[in-house]
Structure 1
Amino acid sequence: MILTARTTRGREKTAINALESKVKGKDVDIRAVFHPEDLQGYIFIEGNEADIRKVANDARNINGIIDEEVEVDEIEKYLSEEQEDIKLEVGDKVEVIGGPFKGEEAKINRVDETNREVTIELLDAAVPIPTTVDADMVRKKAQQ
């Protein structure tokens, strides 16, 4: 069974990480969790309905389960595309796409691949203060 969970918009990957941490080491039937990039505010969870509801109920950034099962053919278009993982590196110029600094330009000072975080320095700030944000909250700017 596949169910759809409503999430805080822009926090889909955080919600997935919260679910994964709740499932680890527990005897629950959740087989897959997935978020299509172009569908903000929702994630799909495959598994036993009772287990999905129990785990999602107290997972961070999940705001509820939609009471309608999703068929695989309805989400197949999202599954067939392979997405290229864009590598972030120290010195890259990025745009912050979420959180309190949304819309700001920044430069990457450090990359923590284990925790999927980057330490950035805002370019337009009067005093440059290093700030650590989720790597999903920045988008690499095109080279000029």
Structure 2
Amino acid sequence: MIEMAFFPVRTVSGKELEVALLIETRAKAMGLDVRSVVVPPRIKGFVIVEAPAHFIVLEVTRGIKHVKGGPGKKMKKEEVLKLVKPIPIIELINVGDIVELVAGPFKGMKAKVEGKDVEKNEVILNILEAAYPLQITVPADYVKPVRR
């Protein structure tokens, strides 16, 4: 069995999806062994192509308008998984941050984070738009960070 490798390809920022779709179409048309094309959500300007060899990625990306550079050095599978795995929202929120509620009865209101419980995936909020101090505990998925 041929061992697959991951190769990063530099693209114009914001054109990653277009490049990925063009790579897929070209690989099928040319009959090249490209197993997957990954557009990492947190990294702008890169597409990751899974293929058995460097020259296959070079051939499939040659002449594509928004490709800035040829395939880079081989990446390990663990590195690609780190780029694709989503970060839980509770890790992005810190005590003292201002957040907006996106669900529940207080939807649309702004609040200040007073505390968080990582194990329960909950945040303790102080609603800023209330007439009196109002503390609530909501799931971390109910909030969106606004500013620090």
Tell me the residue number matched to 2:24. Answer: 20
| One-letter amino acid of the structure 2 residue matched with residue 61 of structure 1 | H
How far is 1:25 from its partner? 3.0
Per the TM alignment, residue 15 of structure 1 is displaced from its structure 2 partner at its CA by: 0.6
Q: Deviations over 1:34-72 (max 9, x none)?
A: 011110001100103211101111223111124311111
User: Which whole-Å CA distance do the structure 2 matches of 1:15 and 1:64 have between them?
Assistant: 12
Q: C-alpha displacement at 1:79, in angstroms?
A: 3.2
Contact 2:27 2:60 in 1 (8 A): yes
Q: Deviations over 1:72-98 (max 9, x none)?
A: 11121233349xxxxxxxxxxxxxxxx
- The answer for the alignment partner of 1:71 in structure 2 is 76
Rg (Cα) greater in structure: 2
Q: Identical aligned pairs, as a percentage?
A: 20
Instruction: Please give the alpha-carbon distance, in whole angstroms, between the structure 1 residues aligned to 2:71 and 2:58.
Output: 10
Q: Distance in 2 between matches of 1:40 and 1:62?
A: 13
| Conserved 8 A contact 2:6-2:48 | yes
Separation in structure 2 between the aligned mates of residue 21 and residue 36 of structure 1, nearest angstrom: 19
8 Å Cα contact 1:6-1:41 kept in structure 2: yes
Gaps of 5+ in 2: 88-148
Root-mean-square deviation (CA), in Å? Answer: 1.8
1:59 aligns to 2:64 (yes or no): yes
| Count of equivalent residues | 82
Contact 1:3/1:46 (<8 A) preserved: yes
TM-score by length of 1: 0.52
Q: Aligned to 1:31, which of 31, 35, 43?
A: 35
Which 4+ runs in 1 deviate beyond 2 A?
78-82
2:3 is the alignment partner of 1:10: no
Q: Structure 1 residues 53, 66: CA separation in 2 closer, same or farther (over 3 Å shift)?
A: closer
> 1:1-144 residue pairs with structure 2 within 5 A?
1-47=5-51, 48-81=53-86
**Aligned partners of 2:84 and 2:37: how far apart in 1?**
12
Cα distance in 2 between the residues matched to 1:67 and 1:12: 16
Q: Which runs of 5+ in 1 are unaligned?
A: 83-144
* Distance in 1, Cα, partners of 2:30 & 2:59: 12
